[in-house]
Amino acid sequence: MIAHHQTGRSAGNPTWTHLGRCLVVLLLLCACDWIEAKPHTIGFSQSDTSESDWRRANTKSFRDAAKVLGIDLVFKDAGGKTEMQRRQVQELIDQKVDAIVLSANEISGWDSVLLNAKKAKIPVILSDRTIALRPENQGKSLFVTWIGSDFRYEGRVAAAWLAQETAGRCNIVEIQGPTGAAPSIDRGQGFRDVIDLFPGMKVIASQRGNWRTDQAKDLMKVLLRNEGANICAVFAHNDNMAIGAVQAIEDSKHLGLKPGKDILIIGVDGVKRGFEHLVDKRINALVECNPLLGRIVLKVATEVLGGRSFPPVMFMEDRVFTVHNALSALPSRKY
Ligand code: AHR
């Protein structure tokens, strides 16, 4: 056996100083491990978990991913109040978290708090919701990257499906999300990018349901009273509001109209309850917007803290589901 100490000592019986040194090395190794293993503290500023099935799945994906990745997640929910959300992001900065993930309730008014995050050297990752910085701040990399779905593309796809389904002739009711929210703005714009190409397609009414089934149901009941069978389709900016429109049509029995048959229904999200309505043919098409962002966003945040850089924009992959492919897709749906 080759003695590993050229001091003439046999490998068999080490001296105390030798043991002492081993102990020190061992302790150092453990200390390194302890240092290495310190979990990252990442602040997550959520817009409003109560607003939709999508948002609930989104929040859950962050909580689950933080557990798996061993991240100390400091979760703040703004309950749909943008001013409160800005204050919460400032609190995360004051708390000196390692990084911040922001899902902005509204697109504007983030310049000053993100400038503070930059001054504090806290990287910010935008999740799902885009923001609009003032021109003078656009080149200052106030956020590392944005990860999410292309809302404008979603609006265009919904309109393209409807144009093909109606041969370009349709009176449309649009149920929008809240004012100032990126998906409301971009899905509405994307939808018009396409229907404006078809003279026979018109948005005859456009109202805000604020992502909620009950609000969409109430406004749809009024529109049914005013427009009734003149309505060819409903484009709802999310599934919860599409379901509200279905309920309103089904409640308006005196009109004898069937959702999915007499009035076409298109939603955006692709959540479980939306899928169930698609399988029942009470909704005709869903444009997916994947809410399971937790793992990818937190992994990116961890890598950013490790010094890695990322492209400024990273899109999630989304698909379109209709009554033709819903049943086969249903078993694999995770949200
Ligand atoms: O930002 C994504 C949107 O926010 C979803 O489409 C909607 O359901 C959610 O509340």
Pairing assessment for the beta strands 99-102 and 41-46 based on DSSP bridges: parallel
Q: What is the dihedral of CA 291, 293, 294, 299, to 10 degrees?
A: 170
Ligand 1: nearest atom to the Cα of 291: 2
Distance between Cα 183 and ligand 1 center (Å): 7
pLDDT for res 311: 96
Distance between Cα 9 and ligand 1 center (Å): 71
What's the 3-state SS for the chain?
A: CCCCCCCCCCCCCCCHHHHHHHHHHHHHHHHHHHHHCCCCEEEEEECCHHHCHHHHHHHHHHHHHHHHHCCEEEEEECCCCHHHHHHHHHHHHHCCCCEEEECCCCCCCCHHHHHHHHHCCCCEEEECCCCCCCHHHHHHCCCCEEEECCHHHHHHHHHHHHHHHCCCCEEEEEEECCCCCHHHHHHHHHHHHHHCCCCCEEEEEEEECCCCHHHHHHHHHHHHHHHHHHCCEEEECCHHHHHHHHHHHHHCHHHCCCECCCEEEEEEECCHHHHHHHHCCCCCEEEECCCCCHHHHHHHHHHHHCCCCCCCEEECCCCEEECCCHHHHHHHCCC
pLDDT in tens, 114-153: 999 999 999 999 999 999 999 999 989 999 999 999 999 9
Distance between Cα 63 and ligand 1 center (Å): 18
Atom 4 in ligand 1: residue holding the nearest Cα? 55
Average pLDDT rounded to a whole number, residues 55-83: 97
Distance between Cα 255 and ligand 1 center (Å): 31
Alpha-carbon gap, residue 270 to 242, rounded angstroms: 11
pLDDT band at 6 (very low <50, low <70, confident <90, very high): very low
pLDDT for res 118: 97
Q: For a substitution probing ligand 1, which of 106, 191, 211, 287 has the most ligand atoms within 8 Å of its CB?
A: 211
Ligand 1: nearest atom to the Cα of 183: 1
Distance between Cα 109 and ligand 1 center (Å): 20
pLDDT for res 20: 72
pLDDT for res 38: 75
The CA distances from residue 233 to 99, 164, 217, 223, 241, in Å, are: 44, 13, 15, 12, 14
Q: Which of 6-20, 64-78, 104-118, 308-322 has the lowest mean pLDDT?
A: 6-20
Alpha-carbon gap, residue 314 to 331, rounded angstroms: 27
Ligand 1: nearest atom to the Cα of 103: 1
Alpha-carbon gap, residue 312 to 11, rounded angstroms: 57
Q: For a substitution probing ligand 1, which of 240, 269, 286, 297 has the most ligand atoms within 8 Å of its CB?
A: 269
pLDDT in tens, 172-209: 999 999 999 999 999 999 999 999 999 999 999 999 99
Average pLDDT over all residues of the chain: 92
Ligand 1: nearest atom to the Cα of 48: 10
pLDDT for res 24: 67
Q: What is the pTM for the complete model shown?
A: 0.89
pLDDT in tens, 221-279: 999 999 999 999 999 999 999 999 999 999 999 999 999 999 999 999 999 999 999 99
Are 236 and 260 in contact, with CB atoms under 8 Å apart?
no
Q: For a substitution probing ligand 1, which of 107, 238, 271 has the most ligand atoms within 8 Å of its CB?
A: 238
Distance between Cα 55 and ligand 1 center (Å): 6
pLDDT in tens, 7-44: 444 444 446 576 676 666 666 555 555 555 678 999 99
Distance between Cα 239 and ligand 1 center (Å): 9
Please report how the helices 239-251 and 272-279 are oriented relative to each other, as an axis angle in degrees rounded to 10: 40
Distance between Cα 289 and ligand 1 center (Å): 8
Pocket of ligand 1 (CB under 6 A): 51-52, 54-55, 128-129, 183, 211, 238, 268-269, 289
pLDDT for res 274: 96
Alpha-carbon gap, residue 304 to 295, rounded angstroms: 14
Instruction: Please tell me which residue, 297 or 17, carries the higher pLDDT value.
Output: 297
